A and B are shown apart, each in its own frame.
Chain A
Amino acid sequence: MKINRRAQQRTVEIVSNKKVGAYHHMIFAVGDMALHALPGNFVAISVGGPGSAMVLRRAFAIYRTHDRGNYGGTLELVVAPHGQGSKWLSALPMHATVDMVGPLGTNFGIPTEPVNALLVGGGYGSAPLFGLAELLKDGGSRVDMVLGASSAGKIYAPLEGKRAVNSMTITTDDGSAGTKGQVVSVLPGLIERHNVDIIYSCGPMAMLAAIQGIATQTGIMHQCAVEESMACGIGVCMTCVVPLRDEAGVIKMSRSCIDGPVMDGANVIWNSGGKIPAGTYGAPNV
């Protein structure tokens, strides 16, 4: 098993930090770290500065990378300033440096032949889907995208992102943009209209679980980037586990930083309700 094979630890400089709606779009000069990143991968950043009381890294899905350009390799994140760590990071000025480890985790699998792909993003979970859309289009696939959030300000849909897809559908819980409702409500129609072969998703676990429900019904492949709180991002703390069926069909508590974040939605045990699912490898006898 490849573990952290492409990961490096590096001090990287902020070359851009712009507020976009509820988020910050940040660009870092990362040298050759950019060369190895694929859509679905993430980075783990140290927050608070030296001597900080925040001892754990924060994980962020990679939005985009470029391996050339004015700054050499660059890597971009869409940061939601939610907790202490992400607030500290998004407030940093140009030229500040951070300690970054990456790229980490599994990536979205790209099919060898053209397919009809449906990309579904929740909130800032849309970010890694744009790089994926470009790769799929380059391979001749059709790409339809659905982005959902609680309100318009929480949708991340940059203009250049819209150009990379055949169609873009927006949903908001409060109706402030696009269709009022949750993303799952528009999926069956899109799946039928565009003869969708595969769904790629990134966003809150409840959304991913609902998408898997539809994927199971329609028999479509579903690759999702799961989100479970992380401490280290490199597979040593055993914090970020998700119950996942392996090739032999055995459910194991699997690290979303090593066996994910991108997982086959059909193998994830959803909605286990704060319990170890029955039959999990090593589960206590009840």
Chain B
Amino acid sequence: MRQMSNFNYSTNFQNALFPNPIFTASGCAGSGKELAQFFPLGEIGAVVTKSIMIKARSGRPTPRMAETPSGMLNSIGLQGPGIDQFIAEDIPFLQKAGARIIVSIAGESVDDYGSLARRLRGVPGLSALEVNISCPNVENRGQVFACDPIASRSVVEVVRRVLGGELPIIVKLSPDVTDIVAIANEVISAGADGLALINTLLGMVIDVDTMRPKLGGKTGGLSGPAIRPVAVRAIYQVHQAFPRIPILGMGGVASGVDALEMVLAGASGISVGTATFGNPNAVIKIKEELANLLIERGFATFKEAVGFAHRSENAE
């Protein structure tokens, strides 16, 4: 059996290199300080930060969470310190902890995304930007950017123009669309270097005791194992259409087997989110399990396995 030490676990998103493909998902790793008690942040591929907005955000009233079968709804509401405090405090902590950093940005208008990109341009030590477009566009009746191909394109164009070639742009898409390949096509044309698939699905729980929606925000984002097949399908479809665009796969990954599914579907990286709530060491566990599964199957490098499920019927 091939030894661990010969196995090349590295991955890349254009010119951003990572020693392994297992990242924390946006919004599921706090500031990094909380998980640092359980494992060294430098041991995972990257930390994808919570989605940062220009101004500080309080988030929504509680209840912010409802457990659902094999998953959960969240209506956190993008609580965060705002870009200035984030650059002053959160980034230095992550750098000191030896983590590779992917900053996630979120905005209410196209201009917001441009301003955020401008603030982050030139901040040293960042690996990439993840653009979270699952936000309501206040300039378009609150319709979510990611559900509108034109709005999605506008955001990515602005970010690309502001950043130039400095940092890879990974655009996070919503699965709540008729044709995710069409949205992917728009953002790739606009300059996306990679895609993050998928964000949460919009869901609701009605509390049968109060006989009202359970969440303070009424609806919430569904995450966890229940959505994994949706994520795998989205990754497969997009990789098939755009085999050269790297995909950061996520959606209910709780084990090495789950991660392997996404890799085979076409993911060059895997973000772990909800699983961390159930297990603080989930990210490390998944990193180790995935490596063992790939080695068992005879892969010498991680990259060889990306999209392996797409090979033709005759190949073996």
Contact = CB atoms under 8 A, between A and B. Distances in A.
A282 B62 contact: no
Interface string B45-82: 00000000001111111111101011110101001111
A282 B38 contact: no
Contacts of B67: 54-56, 231
Which applies to chain A's interface (DSSP): helix, strand, loop or mixed?
Answer: loop
A229 B63 contact: yes
Contacts of A239: 62, 64-65, 74, 76
30 contacts: A3-B33, A3-B34, A3-B37, A9-B38, A46-B278, A46-B279, A55-B67, A55-B70, A55-B254, A56-B277, A56-B278, A231-B65, A231-B72, A232-B276, A234-B34, A236-B28, A236-B276, A237-B65, A238-B64, A238-B79, A239-B74, A240-B62, A241-B59, A241-B62, A253-B59, A258-B34, A272-B61, A275-B61, A280-B58, A282-B56
Given A9-B38, A234-B34, 19 more contacts: A3-B34, A4-B34, A53-B69, A55-B70, A55-B225, A55-B254, A55-B278, A56-B65, A231-B72, A236-B35, A238-B64, A239-B74, A240-B62, A241-B62, A275-B61, A281-B58, A282-B55, A282-B59, A282-B81
A96 interface: no
A237 B74 contact: yes
A5 interface: yes
A240 B64 CA distance: 8
B274 interface: yes
A99 B280 CA distance: 11
B79 A282 contact: yes
Contacts of A281: 56, 58
A35 interface: no
Which applies to chain B's interface (DSSP): helix, strand, loop or mixed?
Answer: loop
Interface of A: 1, 3-5, 7, 9, 46, 53-57, 99, 101, 228-229, 231-232, 234-241, 252-253, 258, 272, 274-276, 280-284
A3 B97 CA distance: 14
Given A46-B278, A231-B277, A238 B56 contact: no
A24 B279 CA distance: 25
Contacts of A276: 58-61
B216 interface: yes
Question: Considering residues B27, B81, B277, B281, which has the most beta carbons from chain A within 10 angstroms of its beta carbon?
Answer: B277
Contacts of B27: 238
A259 B58 CA distance: 16
Nearest to B57: A282
Q: How big is the B interface, by class?
A: 35 or more
A7 B37 contact: yes
Question: Considering residues A229, A232, A236, A284, which has the most beta carbons from chain B within 10 angstroms of its beta carbon?
Answer: A236
Interface of B: 27-30, 33-38, 55-65, 67, 69-72, 74, 76, 79-82, 216, 224-225, 254, 274-281
Contacts of A101: 280
A133 B281 CA distance: 35
B277 A55 contact: yes
* Complex A-B, nearest 9 residue pairs according to Cβ-Cβ distance, in ascending order: A282-B56, A232-B277, A282-B58, A4-B37, A235-B34, A239-B65, A236-B30, A282-B57, A53-B70
Given A1-B33, A53-B69, A276-B58, A236 B277 contact: yes
A238 B38 contact: no
Nearest to B275: A55
Given A9-B38, A56-B72, A238 B277 contact: no
